[in-house]
Chains A and B, each alone.
Chain A
Amino acid sequence: MIVLERMGVRYADAAVPTLSEVSLVVEEGELALVVGRTGSGKSTLLRTLNGLVPHFSGGTLYGRVVVAGRDTARFRPRELADVVGFVGQDPQAGFVTDRVEDELAYGLESLAVAAPVMRKRVEETLDLLGLAGLRHRALADLSGGERQRVAIGSVLTMHPRVLVLDEPTSALDPQAAEEVLATLQRLVHDLALTVVVAEHRLERVVQYADRLIHLPGAGRPVVSGDPRQVMGSCDLAPPVVELGRWAGWRPLPLSIRDARRAAAPLRSQLQGTRPPRRGAAPARPGAECARIEGLVVRYGDTFALRGVDLVTRRGEITAVMGRNGAGKSTLLAAAVGLVDARAGHVDVAGVDPGRTNPRKLLHTVGLVPQDPADLLYGESVAAECSQADADAGAPRGSCRERFAELAPGVPDEQHPRDLSEGQRLALVLAIVLTGRPLQLLLDEPTRGLDYTAKRRLAAALRDLAARGHAVVLATHDVELVAEIADRVVVLADGEVVSDGPTDEVLVASPAFAPQVTKVLGAGPWLTVSDVTTALGAAS
């Protein structure tokens, strides 16, 4: 279905080609998963499949890309629209109309499909993706998962033979991600559609893949093949694979179910042992840092928060979890005084953030927002850093120094827009930390981060907690929470539904349980390192 022959891409102003000498075949009806670090060329690879690279983006395409018998060098994206359906990273950005039904029909109108056929195909797609209930809804009112499914539907109506998705689940909560993945699964099984997906969150998708395409980056050759084989040697691995590798299970399990069957000996080995004390958590809880009481926040007619209480302590990492729209971001925004509460009050180290001069607030509480780029407006990394020093009254170079710790090797004159996702987060984190805020808040920090960047972030946060900062992060990333959080607060519908130590809360919840917990069944085992250190200490 898809044939790449010694394919390479080089953008006009790039010193080295983004991709080179890629040769692989994806058969009809396969679900191919493209993995690789940030900047390894995943998106570029996906965009060559429907001709957006090079026709739309510019740059030079070497070698050959043939999709369903059409050479993309000779067919433009619009001429490939009937064989390749492409869904970009942000489905909202690709919507042309304002209603679900019209959006599904948009592609068909462009292809000049006859009206009766069009009507039929839209109805079929509504049923296939379970969108019938949403057909008259405005696109702006949809949730993240629904939006993603509408975006998939809007290309499926054209009856493509290949579906290409760029990070379809990275912005979604676990439940919505499951919904989207189940839909993809169904398309592969029932329609024999060939699906190519790029994703950072391997723990969510790797078990569905029929083929794994690993882009190691830095000029090393691309590996494509059976997921088990590729996973065996890949430097990116979800916890279940890491556990399998460590325990030496053969064949390497990719799904929880396979791992659970292989894990019986490990489970009996672990009987009677306890995981070590978690993370950098101090033996005794630190002093109180922030206190939120009875917080109520309202946007128009909807209550985003209805009476939330939260106390953070210094040296403690708290994770706020919950569905999209549960009020996580609002809680964080209220804690820095960005939104006005209708009732209740917020107190961070003795001040009310909503009534404090922003400049003074820098030393009390800092927030890394969901889209870190909002904070950046400088021409270069150096300019941003010196501005941050000036704002916070910190000694010159302190922001730059911290940024170098978090993301080494970035030149001074680099434009913030050209940083990778992880580097940009590091820069904003460095800027926020320049004021040495007692309370640090992070909103969805791992969106778009690969495992390496995530590990670096986890280490940085643990280090901060050890130095006495109170850290709160709102996230969907169960594995990150399992790794670093001391405490988990689950929000639903603007209320706190559970609040307790990480191991208790995560183990008790089916939706938020990390992979290792699911594999090992009972017991407070959350991460691979829990298991390895416990057994290392025992032997």
Chain B
Amino acid sequence: MRPVNSPLLPRALHAGAWWLWAVGLAAAASRTTNPLLLVLVIAVTGFVVAARRTDDPWAGAFSAFLKFSLVLIALRVCLQALLSRASQGVTVLFTLPEVPLPDWLAGVKLGGSVTAEAVLAATYAGLQLAAVLCCVGAANALASARRLLASVPGALYEAGVACVVALTFAPQLVTDARRVRRAHRLRGHSPRRLSGLRRTALPVLEGALDRSIELAAAMDARGYGRSNTLSARARRIATGLVAAGLLGMCIGGYGLLDGSAVAIRAMPTLALGAVLAAAGLAWGGRRTPRTRYRPDPWALPEWLVAGSGIACAALLVVADTTSPSGLVMVDPVAMPVVPLLPVAGILLGLAPALLAPPVPSPARSGANAAPPRVAART
């Protein structure tokens, strides 16, 4: 077996594999409102993140997403309680003082009795969203968005660079704004006044502009765009094809995920989109204008990780079509059942915790290695 195929050799897994795995789990979560299954999805993502995350700055993304999803659930439940209607159930938990609303808001009710059905349904819907968010968070924590952009095909290179630059600039803008606002205190302005907006925005934007010009100069001086031999027309064709293809894939994907659309119509759209996009990428990448440094290999562990996510989604789709009773909570107050097939499918998502190669140990990145000091002439 070639070393890259071994799940034991420590290396970074291809970012695309992590995203496919996460998308698979998210697709699975979007198929069910069974709280047990949804909590299981969240637990699986959390476990894999804990097992395979690195020390990189973005590796903390998962907990941020988790907290955000908890807030989301709480928000959803509160809103539901406030706006709940008697038609949503009979088990009244408690009654809020009702706010009388004018006639033209006849459909809306503020306050009043809050039913267990409404609250539980809101919790489950919130949980579903939370599970999807956790999948996205897991992908963010496990794979650097930049690494993913680095492996985009050559035809999308310019767009990739633009995204990378934006990824750098957005946090920088926030830091700058904070610094400038702080600095205004030094001129005797209280930081919370509205008139401060212009005073903050001006230096921050000027700084950002200066920096982007500086970056453009640095990229130019380092040979950016030097060997791009494609004609403008060929580039436009490639971009058009890719854009149309991606749109098709989005529509098809939506159709597949949303159970109500007919799968037969979604599949051809997805396939057509994929073909179009591939054609565009091939057309745009005919001449390789640049080479790539240490591209992440796509080997056995990548297949396994991506496969586990996709298998998980597939099993849930199968379960949904054969016996949807275990997946959908028709009666929110009923005790949720534990359907075997979906549970097995979601547990498949745990595979990366074992099958993805271990994270390279920090010893290898040797943060403490001192630079050699050449005795300077003084």
Contacts and interface: CB of A to CB of B under 8 A. Distances in A.
Interface in A375-393: 375-377, 387-388, 391-392
A388 to B, nearest CB: 7
Contacts of B221: 50, 52, 77-78, 80-81, 84-86, 155
Task: Tell me the dominant secondary structure on chain A's binding face.
Answer: helix
B164 A97 contact: yes
Contacts of A359: 188-190
Nearest to A86: B221
Contact of B203 (A50, A93, A376): A376
19 contacts: A52-B221, A76-B220, A78-B222, A85-B221, A93-B211, A96-B218, A96-B219, A98-B144, A107-B223, A133-B367, A136-B365, A137-B367, A185-B377, A337-B185, A358-B189, A366-B186, A377-B199, A388-B187, A391-B189
A376 B184 CA distance: 9
Interface string A91-128: 00111111001100111111111110011001000000
A333 B144 CA distance: 34
Contacts of B189: 358-359, 391
Contact of A93 (B188, B190, B198, B218): B218
B222 A107 contact: yes
Interface stretch (A176-184, A310-318, A486-494): A176-184
B372 interface: yes
Nearest to A359: B188
A115 B360 CA distance: 22
A110 B164 contact: no
Contacts of B220: 52, 55-56, 76-78
A161 interface: no
A114 to B, nearest CB: 6
A110 B225 CA distance: 7
A112 B57 CA distance: 30
B183 A374 contact: yes
Given A96-B164, A375-B184, A111 B226 contact: yes
B375 to A, nearest CB: 8
A357 B189 CA distance: 9
A185 B377 CA distance: 10
A218 B304 CA distance: 69
Query: Nearest 9 pairs between A and B by C-beta?
Result: A133-B369, A94-B218, A105-B293, A81-B223, A136-B365, A130-B371, A110-B223, A374-B183, A182-B374
A374 B182 CA distance: 9
B146 interface: yes
A122 B293 CA distance: 9
B376 A137 contact: no
Contacts of B150: 102
Contact of A111 (B56, B164, B223, B294): B223
A535 interface: no
B194 interface: no
B202 interface: yes
B84 to A, nearest CB: 42
Interface of B: 56-57, 144, 146, 150, 161, 164-165, 168, 179-180, 182-191, 198-199, 202-203, 206-207, 211, 214-227, 288-295, 360, 364-378
Interface string A115-159: 100110010000001111111111011000010010000110010
A435 B365 contact: no
Given A56-B217, A134-B369, A358-B190, A98 B168 contact: yes
Contacts of A56: 216-217, 220
A122 B292 CA distance: 13
A398 to B, nearest CB: 15
Contacts of A141: 57
A115 B293 CA distance: 6
Nearest to A119: B294
Q: Which of B189, B219, B226 has the most CB of A within 10 A?
A: B226
A296 interface: no
Given A112-B227, A255-B377, A374-B183, A133 B293 contact: no
A336 interface: yes
A131 B291 contact: no
Given A96-B161, A182-B374, A358-B188, 18 more contacts: A56-B220, A78-B226, A86-B221, A95-B218, A96-B165, A109-B293, A110-B225, A112-B290, A130-B371, A135-B365, A136-B364, A137-B365, A182-B376, A207-B378, A257-B377, A376-B203, A377-B199, A391-B188
Contact of B186 (A77, A79, A84, A432): A432
Contacts of A79: 226
Nearest to A515: B378
Nearest to B191: A358
A110 B226 contact: yes
B366 A179 contact: no
A387 B184 CA distance: 12
B285 to A, nearest CB: 13
Nearest to B374: A182
A10 to B, nearest CB: 19
Contacts of A179: 371, 373
A367 interface: yes
Contact of A138 (B57, B190, B291): B57
Contacts of B185: 336-338, 358, 361
Given A132-B369, A186-B374, A362-B188, A158 B222 contact: yes
Contacts of A76: 220
Given A110-B226, A111-B223, A102 B293 contact: yes
